[in-house]
Amino acid sequence: MIKQMKRSRLKRVNSTRSSIPKRCRLCVKATFNNTIISLTDMAGNALLWESAGTCGFKGAKKKTNFAGRLVAEKIGSQAFLAGARRVALIVNGPGNGRRPVMRAIVQSRLKLFVIKDVTPLPFNGCRPPKKRKV
């Protein structure tokens, strides 16, 4: 009887403790139509994710600054409660949600140790079309 109680107590303690490491990456993809944020470990395995669509925004409201800020606040609080403390912020894309996401993560209780922008930019781009002859 005592052994059974000890086992159940150990299981309960282990279930409350999460497997999220203290150092994580927060990947932000800010497109023209949506803002998607995923929390990954340093190897790149996804642990948590949120988007403006999962926060309840639909249609044109998903691409607003306000939606991006709410998504960042929500995933910031989830990550802190799960055990993440230090975060590398990796931002990708030209969307409206970039700056509000960065501000919301800085204001959350997570500590940033890297902010990196990995948006692909063309050096010279594609060749423009031939001039029209009228």
Q: What are the residue boundaries of the structural domains of the chain, listed by start?
A: 27-117
Token pair 């279930």: residue? 15
Contacts of 77 (CB under 8 A, 6+ apart): 108
Count of C-beta atoms within a 10 Å radius of residue 90: 17
Confidence band (pLDDT; 50, 70, 90) for 115? Answer: very high
Contacts of 70 (CB under 8 A, 6+ apart): 52, 55
Statement: residue 116 has pLDDT above 70: yes
CA 88 to CA 42: how far, in whole Å?
9
The C-alpha atoms of residue 58 and residue 60 are separated, in whole angstroms, by 7
* CA pair distance 34, 62, nearest whole angstrom: 5
pLDDT (tens digit, 9 = 90+) per residue, 56-97?
999 999 989 999 999 999 999 999 998 899 999 999 999 888
User: Rounded distance, CA 76 to CA 22, Å?
Assistant: 13
pLDDT tens, position by position, 13-32:
444 445 788 899 999 999 99
- Among all chains, which residue has been given the structure tokens 């931002």? 91
What is residue 74's predicted lDDT score, i.e. its pLDDT?
93
Q: How far is CA 37 from the centre of its chain?
A: 3
Q: Residue holding tokens 């303690």?
A: 13
C-alpha to C-alpha distance for 57 and 43, rounded to whole angstroms: 31
CATH of domain 27-117: 3.30.420.80
Alpha helices in 65-123 (DSSP H): 65-82, 98-107
pLDDT of 38 > 60? The answer is: yes
Overall pTM > 0.85: no
